[in-house]
């Protein structure tokens, strides 16, 4: 078993690690620390958030810094204020027994005058957000011309947040002879571009599989009708009484609405989005970290840089548009050796996205049933009983009152007392879920076609009328990555169409055809306009011999050709 001592850490830093409870290095620390200490190299490290990356670069940076030299020698760049503060705090803790070494966090939202004052004293290691550091460089208040090490922490997130120009400007003020280290959860094209532009023959250290999800995270999804998404969220939360989660929404408007609904329904929740001031944001995060909030509803941008180690769940109220963001979301649970659950709430036309994410993270999702009201009440009751059994009784406070309490409750037998206690504490759940409907999307023959019927074009049993289908041709096929699920999902997304029946789908190497309910021909063509699939413009047209083609001609309606679309 490796220890920090036998991978070359000096005694002053070891003291700091020991006081923090560090016993043995994590895999990323075990790989990265010796490389940084023993070799002057550029390095790309790919590892999930929460695997110990801060210590992996922070410890060797401290050891490689000369405390007697007041010049800035190391620079760590972070995407957000929260991550910047956290990284600086951690590195300071590692260096608590290293005399004369100063670490400073530089970020927006704090007094720039105070930061300038601190810089005048001489800071050997700066942790900064790109925007504020670039501002200080332009003012001539910070000197990074002697930097020997530059670290990009969460490089993929920095690029997604649009810091490319700031990074270019900052690096232009650093010496050409330096070591550049890049730490990221994913190896996106943008991250690869940073490595190619700013690094010299970098060594890559990958912990786990490239772009894979965190090992300790279980991935689940629940299939619902779009209108039932919020009701499903409540059931998922209620079914886990100890739920401590971040709920991700696609837009700040969704975040605001979901958080307000949860608050109105009695949940301990709040929102984190771009409309909050820094003071409001700090207050929300303080409450969440101290667990005075159970549920934090956030957008991807607002949640970047957050670090909470003991989340039980990450809940995707909406799946992200960019699959890489799913990796970041799910990586916020299952940290520090704990297990976690990443939940996705999806409706039928989004199901194909689950398959895309599975390919990206190299993990399978488990489709789960939305729990019934009876199941939820049972879990809540068991949790309540466990709390009662484990509560610590303060006899000094209770004993003087016990005689009076016992007298008042003396005419109730044990069974009646238990039932009244449960009723008092449990009424909300019992009432709310008394006649709760099943929210699961059913696949029975009576309610909708099975998947086989949808793809093969079979009608449901006992159908009274034969369905009239229109046949469409597309100029894309298997080589372009097109799948039946994507086509079905796109058709089911037609505004006002509800669930449009889909018939036979044929996917060839370079082309495809499909059949769909003739009544929605024009809507389908309109929905497929001005978009692409996998970057390729796609045309769709109605087959000449189809029902819609003849009907269109009969009605004097012009067929629409060359419609371009993207399967979501």
389 and 357 assigned to the same domain:
no
Into how many domains does the chain fold? 4
- The mean pLDDT value of the chain amounts to 81
Confidence of residue 545 (pLDDT cuts 50, 70, 90): low
Residue 535 has pLDDT above 60, yes or no: yes
- In this prediction, residue 421 carries a pLDDT of 80
103 and 54 assigned to the same domain:
yes
Gap between the Cα atoms of 358 and 365, Å rounded: 7
Confidence of residue 295 (pLDDT cuts 50, 70, 90): very high
Which whole number is the average pLDDT over 301-306?
A: 70
174 and 230 assigned to the same domain:
no
145 and 251 assigned to the same domain:
no
Gap between the Cα atoms of 515 and 454, Å rounded: 10
Domain CATH number, residue 495: 3.30.70.330
- In this prediction, residue 453 carries a pLDDT of 37
Domain CATH number, residue 87: 3.40.50.300
202 and 246 assigned to the same domain:
no
What does the pLDDT look like over 28-70, one tens digit per residue? 888 899 999 888 889 988 876 667 888 999 999 999 999 999 9
Examine residue 393 and state whether it is found in any structural domain, yes or no.
yes
Q: Two tokens at 311?
A: 């989340």
Q: Two tokens at 521?
A: 């021909």
404 and 317 assigned to the same domain:
no
Residue 219 has pLDDT above 90, yes or no: yes
- In this prediction, residue 62 carries a pLDDT of 94
- Give SS3 for 183: strand
Gap between the Cα atoms of 284 and 295, Å rounded: 11
From edge to edge, which strands make up the β-sheet containing 313-316?
269-272, 295-298, 245-248, 313-316, 340-346, 217-223, 366-368
Which whole number is the average pLDDT over 350-356?
A: 87
- In this prediction, residue 559 carries a pLDDT of 40
Give the whole-number percent of the chain exceeding pLDDT 90: 28
- In this prediction, residue 202 carries a pLDDT of 87
Which whole number is the average pLDDT over 507-533?
A: 78
Which whole number is the average pLDDT over 272-288?
A: 82
Range of the domain at 11: 5-206
Kindly give the residue spans of alpha helices, DSSP state H, lying in 290-394.
300-303, 323-330, 351-361, 373-390
154 and 109 assigned to the same domain:
yes
Cβ-based neighbour number of residue 554 at 10 Å: 8
Examine residue 562 and state whether it is found in any structural domain, yes or no.
no
396 and 287 assigned to the same domain:
no
If we measure between CA atoms, which residue out of 174, 29, 158 comes closest to residue 90?
29
157 and 25 assigned to the same domain:
yes
Gap between the Cα atoms of 376 and 263, Å rounded: 20
Residue 461 has pLDDT above 60, yes or no: no
61 and 185 assigned to the same domain:
yes
Among residues 320, 355, 370, the one where a domain terminates is 370
Cβ(151)–Cβ(57) below 8 Å: yes
Which whole number is the average pLDDT over 234-240?
A: 93
Give the whole-number percent of the chain exceeding pLDDT 70: 84
What does the pLDDT look like over 177-190, one tens digit per residue? 999 999 887 777 77
Residue 211 has pLDDT above 60, yes or no: no
The DSSP string of 5-20 is: GGGT--HHHHHHHHHT
What does the pLDDT look like over 375-429, one tens digit per residue? 888 888 888 888 888 888 888 988 898 888 888 888 888 888 888 887 776 777 7
311 φ, ψ to 5°?
A: -65, 135
pTM: 0.57
What is the torsion angle, in degrees rounded to the nearest 10, for the CA atoms of residue 230, residue 231, residue 237 and residue 240? Answer: -160
472 and 547 assigned to the same domain:
yes
């Amino acid at each position: 078993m490796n220890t920090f001592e036998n991978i070359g850490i000096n005694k002053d830093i070891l003291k700091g690690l020991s006081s923090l409870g560090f016993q043995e290095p994590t895999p990323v620390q075990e790989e990265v620390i010796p490389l940084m200490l023993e070799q002057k190299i550029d390095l790309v490290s790919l590892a999930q958030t929460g695997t110990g990356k801060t210590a992996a670069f922070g410890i060797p940076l401290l050891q490689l810094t000369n405390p007697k030299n007041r010049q800035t020698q190391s620079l760590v760049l972070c995407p957000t204020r929260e991550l910047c503060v956290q990284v600086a705090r951690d590195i300071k803790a590692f260096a608590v027994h290293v005399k004369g070494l100063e670490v400073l966090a530089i970020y927006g939202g704090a007094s720039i005058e105070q930061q300038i004052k601190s810089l005048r004293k001489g800071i050997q290691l700066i942790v900064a957000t790109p925007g504020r550091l670039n501002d200080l460089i332009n003012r001539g208040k910070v000197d990074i011309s002697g930097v020997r090490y530059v670290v990009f922490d969460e490089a993929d997130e920095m690029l997604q947040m649009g810091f490319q120009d700031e990074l270019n400007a900052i690096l232009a003020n650093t010496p050409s002879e330096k070591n550049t280290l890049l730490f990221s959860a994913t190896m996106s094209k943008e991250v690869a571009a940073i490595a190619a532009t700013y690094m010299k023959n970098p060594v890559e250290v990958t912990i786990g599989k490239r772009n894979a999800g965190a090992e300790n995270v279980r991935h689940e999804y629940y299939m619902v009708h779009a209108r039932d998404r919020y009701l499903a969220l409540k059931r998922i939360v209620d079914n886990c009484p100890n739920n401590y989660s971040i709920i991700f929404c696609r837009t700040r408007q969704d975040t605001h609405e979901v958080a307000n609904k949860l608050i109105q329904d009695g949940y301990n929740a709040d929102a984190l989005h771009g409309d909050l001031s820094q003071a409001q944001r700090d207050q929300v995060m303080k409450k969440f970290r101290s667990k005075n909030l159970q549920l934090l509803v956030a957008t991807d941008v607002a949640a970047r840089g957050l670090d909470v180690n003991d989340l039980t769940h990450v809940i995707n109220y909406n799946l992200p548009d960019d699959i890489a963001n799913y990796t970041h979301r799910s990586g916020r649970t299952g940290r520090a050796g704990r297990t976690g659950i990443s939940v996705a709430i999806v409706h039928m036309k989004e199901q194909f996205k689950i398959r895309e994410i599975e390919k990206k993270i190299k993990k399978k999702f488990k489709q789960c049933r939305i729990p019934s009201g009876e199941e939820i009440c049972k879990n809540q009751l068991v949790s309540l009983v466990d709390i009662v059994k484990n509560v610590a009784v303060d006899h000094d406070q209770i004993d003087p009152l016990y005689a009076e309490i016992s007298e008042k409750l003396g005419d109730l037998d044990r069974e009646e007392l238990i039932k009244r206690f449960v009723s008092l504490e449990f009424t909300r759940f019992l009432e709310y879920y008394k006649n709760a409907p099943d929210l699961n999307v059913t696949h029975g023959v009576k309610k909708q076609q099975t998947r086989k019927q949808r793809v093969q074009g079979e009608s449901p049993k006992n159908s009274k009328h034969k369905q009239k289908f229109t046949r469409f041709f597309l100029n894309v096929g298997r080589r372009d990555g097109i799948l039946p699920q994507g086509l079905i999902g796109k058709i089911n997304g037609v505004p006002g169409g509800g669930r449009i029946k889909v018939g036979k789908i044929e996917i060839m190497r370079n082309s495809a055809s499909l059949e769909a309910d003739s009544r929605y021909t024009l809507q389908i063509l309109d929905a497929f306009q001005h978009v692409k699939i996998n970057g390729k413009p796609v045309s769709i047209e109605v087959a000449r011999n189809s029902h819609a083609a003849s009907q269109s001609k009969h009605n004097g309606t012009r067929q629409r050709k060359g419609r371009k679309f993207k399967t979501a």
